Amino acid sequence: MAPAEIAFYTASAFLVGVLAAGLAWNVYLTFLLAVLFIGILLFKQKGRFRASPYAPILLLLPLFAGFFYYHFYVNLRSARDHIVLNEQATIRAVVTNEPSRNITYQAFSASLEPPFHGEISVYAGLFPEVAYGDLVEMQGKIQPPALTAGLPLMAFPEVNVVGRHQGFWLKERLLSLKQTLISQFPKFLPADPAALLGGLTFGSRAEFTKEFKDAMAKSGTTHLVALSGYNIAILVFAVAGALRGWFRRRTTFYLTALVIFLFVLMVGAEASVVRAAIMGFLGLLAHEAGRRYNFRNAVTLTAAAMVIQNPTILPAGVGFQLSFLSLLGMIYGGPVFTRLFGFEGKSSGLLGWRENLTMTLGAQLAVLPILVARFGGFSLTAILANILILEAVPLTMFFGFALACLGSLFAPLGFILAAPAYLLLRYESAVIGLFANIRLPIGDFLSNSFLMVLYYMVFVAVIISFRRRPPT
């Protein structure tokens, strides 16, 4: 096996082991899964034996390493933490993320100060308003986590801010910069379009009304305000293009990688952003080293790196699951629909509608069981809503970034950039509102774990079957 093949199968087996442990499968079930997993990989086209005799060891060792690593991580975290549960207590903690707010509460994570130790989730009232890096004193009860992978929860304690600037200074500055950039939008746009633009460009949902959040959830478009690879792609091309004429290629590479890192810190390091950032960095690295970029290995090694840092995100992290599954659905499921609809060899169509159609179908079908299991249902009309909106999102984001960066420098230019952005945002809002009221919901039968596994087995089998067919 080539080193790239070894890396791919080792990382894949490790991820399968972590997933099995996170889903509470026992060792015997994991062994049966391993046999099935190895059998699929050992025998490829027409039953010919194509693998090294060392393949079973190569796959079994990382699979069981993943299985035991998950339990080791969870038990180590439990032993290290010192948190008083289900008792009235007064604690001090430092806010470790940018709080999210709605009309009734603010939610944030906090790292406990001695004599306690560990991290908790907090749902608190809107006042006093807390920020990243604040030292807060809270009085209330800490409840145990609902899931093994979750954090203990403190619901609506008494909160007092007793200190500021206790976090990482660079992250504090970047979060402040983000708020400065987002604050440009209301200067040139009405409140609702400005809020949507903040979500599309920087992932901010603080100004969303409850009605608009509900409309996005019902229309299946909430993921649009979860930052992804497109934001990173814009950043990479813009920064690299701006620096290329001033610095040598190696210097441009380092500076672009630094900007990616700073952007991830600024927007909050959600799973979709971290995934896109790592893959963007790997793409830059491949270009710098003169190597071919291998998407399959990049996405697998990215997932493995994130899971090593925190294995609980694979079985329990919805953002992580949706980010990777939608990407895989677009890349591997999209071409299936391209063939199925007879789009091969044809142009992408007006505004790329053919490509958007096939990639959206692939992404939506890839995440369908997760949406049903985690959010209680899925509307078939969400597919059409996403197709219609995705046509306009890239251009909207371009105008959003331009407005955020240039609006404060020259106000007339800000109004010029805001005009097309406003038209696009009104169109997107209209589509969201329309499909929030036109729904074709499907049942929650896919929430059954067996049916979910069966669904993905069929989905993967169909993709493999189409990929093996010769082009027409």
C-alpha 443, offset from chain centre: 25
What's the pTM value of the predicted model, to 2 decimals? 0.81
Of the two residues 347 and 2, the one the predictor is more confident about is 2
pLDDT at 89 over 80: yes
Residue 49's pLDDT is 46
pLDDT at 51 over 60: no
Cβ atoms within 10 Å, residue 7: 16
CB 182 within 8 A of CB 202: yes
pLDDT, tens digit, for every residue of 214-248?
Answer: 999 889 888 788 776 666 777 777 787 778 778 88
pLDDT class of 471 with cuts at 50, 70, 90: low
Average pLDDT of every residue of the chain: 85
Q: What percent of the chain has pLDDT over 70?
A: 89
Task: Look at residues 198, 211, 221, 185 and name the one whose alpha carbon lies nearest to residue 428.
Answer: 221
Query: What pLDDT score does 46 carry?
Result: 45
CA distances from 369 to 153, 304, 357 (A): 27, 22, 20
Task: Look at the block and give the residue holding tokens 């509608």.
Answer: 353
**44 pLDDT above the threshold of 60:** no
Contact, 272 vs 313, CB < 8 A? no
Distance CA 18, CA 13 (A): 9
Whole-number pLDDT of residue 135: 98
Whether pLDDT at 148 is above 70:
no
The answer to whether residue 356 scores a pLDDT higher than 80 is: no
Confidence at residue 20, expressed as pLDDT on a 0 to 100 scale:
86
Q: Given a cut of 60, is residue 50 above it in pLDDT?
A: no
Which is more confidently placed, 119 or 236?
119
pLDDT at residue 446, rounded to an integer: 64
Q: Which whole number is the average pLDDT over 411-432?
A: 96
Q: How far is CA 135 from the centre of its chain?
A: 28
pLDDT over threshold 80, residue 290: no
The residue count of the chain comes to 472
Taking CA atoms, 146 is separated from 142, 212, 315, in Å, by 12, 28, 14
Better-predicted residue by pLDDT, 231 or 105: 105
Q: Which residue has the higher pLDDT, 380 or 30?
A: 380
Out of 34-43, 133-142, 172-181, the most confident range is: 133-142
Q: What pLDDT does residue 307 have?
A: 95
State the burial class of residue 80 (Cβ atoms within 10 Å of its Cβ: 0-12, 13-18, 19+): exposed
Contact 232, 273 (CB under 8 A): yes
Residue 97 — pLDDT band, cuts 50, 70, 90? very high
Q: Is 419 exposed, middle or buried (0-12, 13-18, 19+ CB in 10 A)?
A: exposed
Q: Tell me, letter by letter, the H, E, C secondary structure of the chain.
A: CCHHHHHHHHHHHHHHHHHHHHCCCCHHHHHHHHHHHHHHHHECHHHCECCCCCHHHHHHHHHHHHHHHHHHHHHHHHHHCECCCCCEEEEEEEECCCCEECCCCEEEEEEECCCCECEEEEEECCCCCCCCCCEEEEEEEEECCCCCCCCCEEECCEEEEEECCCCCHHHHHHHHHHHHHHCCHHHHCCHHHHHHHHHHHHCCCCCCCHHHHHHHHHHCCHHHHCCCHHHHHHHHHHHHHHHHCCCCHHHHHHHHHHHHHHHHHHHCCCHHHHHHHHHHHHHHHHHHHCCCCCHHHHHHHHHHHHHHHCCCHHHHCHHHHHHHHHHHHHHHHHHHHHHHCCCCCCCCCHHHHHHHHHHHHHHHHHHHHHHHHHHCCEECHHHHHHHHHHCCHHHHHHHHHHHHHHCCCCHHHHHHHHHHHHHHHHHHHHHHHHHHHCCCEECCHHHCHHHHHHHHHHHHHHHHHHHHCCCC
pLDDT for 134 beyond 60:
yes
d(CA 28, CA 465): 30
Lowest average pLDDT, out of 136-140, 159-163, 254-258, 355-359, goes to 355-359
Q: What is the mean pLDDT of residues 387-391?
A: 83
Q: How much is the average pLDDT of 352-377?
A: 80
Residue keyed to tokens 């989730």: 121
- Residue 434 is encoded by which pair of tokens? 């329309």
Tokens encoding 277: 């950032």
Which residues, at least 6 apart from 122, have a Cβ–Cβ distance to it below 8 Å?
A: 93, 107, 108, 109, 110, 138, 153, 154, 157, 159
| 285 has a pLDDT exceeding 90 | no
Which range is least confidently modeled, 69-83, 205-219, 282-296?
Answer: 282-296
pLDDT at 364 over 50: yes
Bridge partners for 137 per DSSP: 92, 160
Task: Please tell me the predicted confidence (pLDDT) of residue 45.
Answer: 43
Question: Mean per-residue pLDDT for 141-149?
Answer: 81
Q: Predicted confidence band at 42 (pLDDT cuts at 50, 70, 90)?
A: low
Report the pLDDT value the prediction gives residue 464, as an integer from 0 to 100: 84
Q: What is the mean pLDDT of residues 182-206?
A: 93
pLDDT bracket for residue 282 (50, 70, 90): confident
Distance CA 268, CA 173 (A): 13
